[in-house]
Structure formats: C-alpha cells, structure tokens
Structure 1
Amino acid sequence: MVDRRHLNTLYVSTEGAYVRKDGENAVVEVDGGERLRVPLHKLGSIAPFGRVTISTGLMAAAVESGIAITHFSDNGRFLARVEGPVSGNVLLRRDQFRVHESEAASANFAAVIIIAKASNQRAVLQRALRDHGDGLDQTARDALHSSVEHLADAARRCLKPRALDEVRGVEGEAARAYFGVFDHLICVKEPGLRFGARSRRPPLDAVNALLSFLYTLLAHDCRSALEGVGLDPAVGFLHRLRPGRPSLALDLMEELRPHLADRLALINRGEIGVSDFRLFENGAVLLNDDARKQVLVAFQERKREEIEHPFLKEKLAIGLLPHIQARLLAKAVRGDLDGYPPMIWK
C-alpha cells in the first residue's frame, strides 16, 4: 500500500504544456516533445499554472487514484480543483465542526498557531541579525531587536486563555511588527527589490509578488495534507468561514511560512532580480514565466531538506511537515492528544 503522505506535487508552469496519461505515468509535453515522465504512484497532486492542458485520460486516472488536480492562474491565483469523492472520516469532520462552532475551543487552537507563528517569525529575524546584522546600521539593528522582543511577547500573551478576537488581535500586532522590519532581511541594495508593506491582491512590489507565489504553493500543500487526513480545509479556527477560502489550510500554513517562504534566499543569493518580474498597468507586480519555474525548483529543493521534528523527535523531509502537522491536528481535534503540538523551529 502506498503512503500518500510521502508523495510529491507535480508543478507544471510552462505555457502551452500538455499533460497526459501514458500507461501508469503522467507525461508532460511541450511543443509536441516529451519533457517529463512521472509514475502516477509517486504523485500526491498535480498543480498546473496558466495555460496548461490536462488530458481527460489523466484527469480520470488522477481522480481514481486520489490525486487532486489544482488549477492556478499564471500568477498563482487559485482557479479550480478536481478531485474524487471525499474520503475523510465523517466523525473527525463532525469533531472539527464542533471545535469551529465553539469560540473557546477555536481560541485554544488559534492561540497555539499564533505562538508557533510568532516564535518562527522571531527565529527568522534572529537569524537575519546573526547572519548579516553587522552590515546593518544601528537604527535597523535596533528595529530588528525591538521586533524580536515584540514577537516573543506576542507568543507569551497567547499562553494565557484569551477570547478568539483577542488572539486574532495579538496576531495582527505581531504581523505588523514582523513585516514592519521585513525590508531589513533583504541584503541586496537594488531599489526595485525593497519592501514597504505587505500587499496581496494584487502584490504591488517584487518582494510581495515572490511571497504571494510562495504562499500559494504552501497553501496548496497544506490543503492537500488536510484532505489527506480527512479534515475539511475550509473550516478553520483562527481563520473563520468565508466562501471559497481554505481557512484551515491558512491556519496550518501560518506556523510553516516563516521558514518555508519568508527567508528570501533567492533574492539574497542574487538568483531572482528585478528583471524577473512584470509590472502591469494596475500596479500589480508578478513573477515572469522563467522566474516562476526557478522558484518552483527552489521550493521543491527546500522541501527535500531534512529537519528533526520537535514533537516526534524524528528526522524527516521538510516537505512532509504539512502532512505531519495535519495528522497531529487531526489527533488533537479528535481528542487523542491533549493539545495540538505546532511546528516550532529551533
């Protein structure tokens, strides 16, 4: 029996690509030539970006095999998802809905999520100070140290029982402290790669465009992981119900994105530059096609790195974290664990 938690996502972003089934394989063709062949049993999901065609034969095989196909626009906006019958445990989802309906229970889960998120954001800032703090002026160093303390305080405040709105308020304050110094994480001096403030729909600068694309990839993995353990990705605890929004997937990715998306290594290493972005008339800034492929490759390589899980005390690939955390979240929702153990980087 194949353990689908350990399988990969096939990202297809080449304009005009055609993905078909050949035997027990998914084959990617571009301009009539084969570019990639992947056995279906090694896939957990397929994620086409932009003008990519999926054959009906592959779509049928994917549905039958439990491989979800998630379509995105070329800039990473979610469009549609094709999947087979929901296989989740109805009793688990019932428990999930009960937690969601209880503000106190939701607040408990939300507080743990924010503790992990703030702690991981704090670790990102501390790493920046350690790695290139000597290259910053005193004002920047002071700002980073202040944000580090603010994030530590946010995590401490969530250790005490609080109403859900209070927890969300702490999260908002922590986000402002974190993104308020985010520009100091960027080592390059190129004016076109500065960060002013977080902008989402649409991203209004290059750094926001890169962050938004990486967050899209991570949200996809979190959604797939939640569905894999039988949880409903639309019913969250920190993020509340909103039509079309995978609220629980957004909850799950909060603790993961500081280390999986926010480290900006591609920019700091000079692998992504100003020429890798397109500016549109409405002010939107998006990655171009070649840069998007480069980010996809870097994201997949990052997922292959290994880390010791602080709760399981086991070494595992970073790409498995959404699946591991989804499984732990399901156990906590069912009551098999006293509480949800989030992923906090050491």
Structure 2
Amino acid sequence: MFRFHSVFNILSDFRSYSHKRGNFMSTLYLCSQKTKLRFMDNHFVLTTFEDEYGRSYEVKRISGRQIDSVLAFGIIAITREALTYCMSNGITVSYFSSNGKYIGSSVSNEAKCSELKLCQYARYFNDVHRLYLAKMIVMGKIRNQIATLKYFSHNRDNAAEQVDQVISQMEMHMKRIGSAESVRELDGIEGVSASLYFGIWRRFLPGELGFVRRIKHPATDPVNAMLSLGYTLLTNLIRGIAVARGLEPSIGYLHEQHSNRPSLACDLIEEFRAPIVDRFVVRGCNLQQFRPEMFSENDPVKGVRFKGDFIRAFFSSWEMFISKNVREYGVAEEDRKDLISLIVRQVDRIAGVIRNGGVYEPFRF
C-alpha cells in the first residue's frame, strides 16, 4: 500500500504506518515558510528558524524510516545532517519556489542498474526504437485526453455536441501517429491535439476563474497555476520512482535532453496528465475547493499563484485525490489500483521494453 502524508497532518496517522520500508511511499511536504528540517535521533525534526535570541521551536517530528521523498517549497532550510541521511537512504529531496516552480533535486550518487542505463542509452540512439516509444507515449496521452473529455462532458448536455466535434478532430490527428517519421512530427501532432483539448475547457470550469487557454509560465489565471503545480508534483513523483528503478531520468524518448529536465519523467507523465492532474483541477474548481480569492493578482513576472497558506488546501486535496483507486479502461472496479501503484507499473513496463524490447502499453483511463 502506498501512502502520502503532508507535514501538517502526518502525526495524526502514525499508528497506520508499517515500519518496513517498501510497503508504502510517503512524501513529506514542507511548505511552512521560514522553517528548518533537522535530523536527530533517527527522526526528521521540523523547527522554526532561530529568533533574535537564538531560540527555535519544534513544530513536527517524523521517523526517518517513514519518509521516501521530501518536497520543500519556498524558504525552507535543510541541515547537512538531514540531507546526509536522505542521500544515504535513497530519499530524493526536491526544491521548489514558493509558487511551485521546480528548482532542482538532491539524489544519491550511488550507481544503480548500470546495465539498464546502458540499454536505455542504446534505445535512445536507435532511431527506430526511440520513435516507437515516442509514438506510444503520444498515443497514450491523446487517448486519455479524449477519455477525460468524455468524463468531463458526462451529464453536461449543453457541451455534448461541441465535445463530440473536438474528439472527432483529435481522433483524426491520432491516426497520423502511426505514419509519423520523426519525433518532431509527433511533437506537432501532440501540440495540435493539446490545443483542441484545452480549447473546450471553458465549458467545464466556473467563469470567475478566468481560464481561456493553457499558458504554462507564468500562469495567467488560477487554473493554469494549479495545472502547472500539479504537473510539477506528478513529474517529480515519477522521476523519483524511475530513479529508484535504476533508470536514468534525463534520457527520454519523446522529450529531448535539456539541462535540469527529467526527460524520461516528462515522457511518462503524458499518459497521466489528463486523467490525474486535469481531473483533479477541474473537480476542485467545480466543488469550489479552489476559489479566486485564494490566488494573487497576475504578476507580469511571477504570474498568478496561491496567496499565503492557501497552497496547503491544494496539497491536502491532492493527497486525498491520489490516494484513491483510479479508473482504468477494461479493469473491474475491485481490481483498480491507486496512482502510485500505476506509476510503478508503468515505470516497470517501460524498463522491461528498454531492456528486452517488445510492446509498451501506456496506462489507459
């Protein structure tokens, strides 16, 4: 079983934890500003910064055995002892700005599965294999976007006709994937489909949130801000699982290599964007979990972002959402898996194809 806990509610569930590593994955979110993460007596200890008199106060204490990854947002200090423990125990520490922009990660330098990495490099430099994997990634993304549009339009009679038209156009572009001769051509197909997909989103969202189209950075409205934050969280979750599996996160097949970009995680998130992050954001907006007053005004440089501690509401809802089992095409309700289990399965699937060849089967919503 995989579990997610935030720094502000982790103590309430201590009894539910197993003390055996590997039975679950727990992420420690650090979003209380001007706090410090220490490591003492086999525990992570979150304290306030020292005041003018040299005093600090303990906020939380969590056993080191219960944490598999740490996400630090904004002004968070992590001591050398805490970082050393993380590096020695395979715990990835990821750093973000206060508005959720990914800055970088600290991971152990221990070499794992060198043979798998060599296979991964070989697949990347083999044009036929690389193009095949890139095609499957784009196919999985567009197919799940279509399924998510159908999910959004359920019981929305006023949107049904327009949704059907958009889906018809997306299906037409999806048919072009098989004959694509380059990754660049696939990028074009994916881009056109994404434009069609987000072009109808206003039908599903409250008008006061101001969503017009997908804009990445800086976000111009609350919906875009939450989408970017959700994609960042999910990408880094996938990255951590891929690293633990022994894969090289910077070597992807659809996404080119760029400095400080986990291209493989960027590949694998594509099949999960619509059914996970997009569904989460649209659902939260319609349930009024996320309201205009929770966000700042649009800044020309920083864009729109959560005000103050409102970002806690996002994390709390996110944890609850991803802890539930996910609907999967052709899978009975009693056999569905939670998000983390699905990601582990997909990472294992692509690792198997990288090592042994064969067919890669994307997650299908």
Q: TM-score, normalised by structure 2?
A: 0.85
The one of 158, 166, 178 equivalent to 2:197 is 178
Any conservation in 2 of the 1:4–1:44 contact (CA below 8 Å)?
A: no
Report SS of the residue matched to 2:60.
strand
Structure 2 residue 348 is the aligned partner of structure 1 residue 327: yes
Q: Which amino acid aligns with 2:69?
A: S
What's the counterpart of residue 230 of structure 1?
A: 246
Contact conserved, 1:68 with 1:81, CA < 8 A, in 2?
yes
Partners of 2:118 and 2:21 in 1: CA distance: 25
Higher mean displacement: 26-35 or 294-303: 26-35
CA apart distance, 1:265: 1.5
After TM superposition, the structure 1 = structure 2 runs for residues 45-194 of structure 1, keeping only pairs within 5 Å, are: 45-131=69-155, 133-134=156-157, 136=158, 140-159=159-178, 162-186=181-205, 188-190=206-208, 193-194=209-210
Cα displacement (A) at 1:251: 0.5
Aligned to 1:306: 325
Q: Is the Cα contact below 8 Å between 1:121 and 1:151 reproduced in 2?
A: no
> 85-94 or 175-184: which moved more?
85-94
Alignment correspondent of 1:201:
217
Aligned residues: 336
Report if the CA contact (8 A) 1:21-1:57 is conserved: yes
1:38 pairs, out of 43, 50, 62, with 62
Q: AA paired with 1:290?
A: D
Instruction: Decide whether the 8 Å contact of 2:43 with 2:64 is kept in 1.
Output: yes
- What letter corresponds to residue 344 of structure 2 in structure 1? H
- Greater CA deviation, 65-74 or 141-150? 141-150
Partner SS, residue 70 of structure 1 = strand
SS in 1 for 2:296: strand
Matches of residues 288-303 of structure 1 in structure 2 within 5 Å? 288-303=307-322
Q: Which residue of 2 aligns with 1:17?
A: 35
1:8 aligns with 2:26: yes
Matched AA of 1:260: I
SS of the residue 1:79 aligns to = strand
Distance change (3 Å), C-alpha of 1:6 and 1:342: farther
Equivalents in 2 of 1:125, 1:24: separation in Å? 47
Distance of aligned partners of 1:168 and 1:3 in 2 relative to their CA distance in 1, 3 Å threshold: farther
CA change 1:231–1:265 in 2 (3 A) is same
- Does the CA contact (< 8 Å) of 1:239 and 1:247 recur in 2? yes
| Candidates 224, 241, 255, aligned match of 1:239 | 255
Residues 90/272 of structure 1: CA separation in 2 closer, same or farther (3 Å cut): same
| Amino acid of the structure 2 residue aligned with 1:344 | R
Contact 2:249 2:263 (C-alpha < 8 Å) held by counterparts: yes
Q: Secondary structure at the match of 1:255?
A: helix
1:127 counterpart SS class: helix
Find the residue that maps to 1:278 and give its secondary structure. coil
Gap regions ≥5 residues in structure 2 = 1-18, 50-55
Distance apart, 1:221 and its partner CA: 0.3
Partner Cα distance (1:100, 1:5) in 2: 33
TM-aligned CA deviation for residue 253 of structure 1: 0.5
After TM superposition, give the deviation of residue 126 of structure 1 in Å: 0.5
Whole-Å separation in 1 of the counterparts to 2:243 and 2:23? 11
Worse-superposed segment, 204-213 or 21-30: 21-30
Query: What TM-score do the two structures reach when normalised by structure 1?
Result: 0.90
The more displaced of 304-313 and 175-184 is 304-313
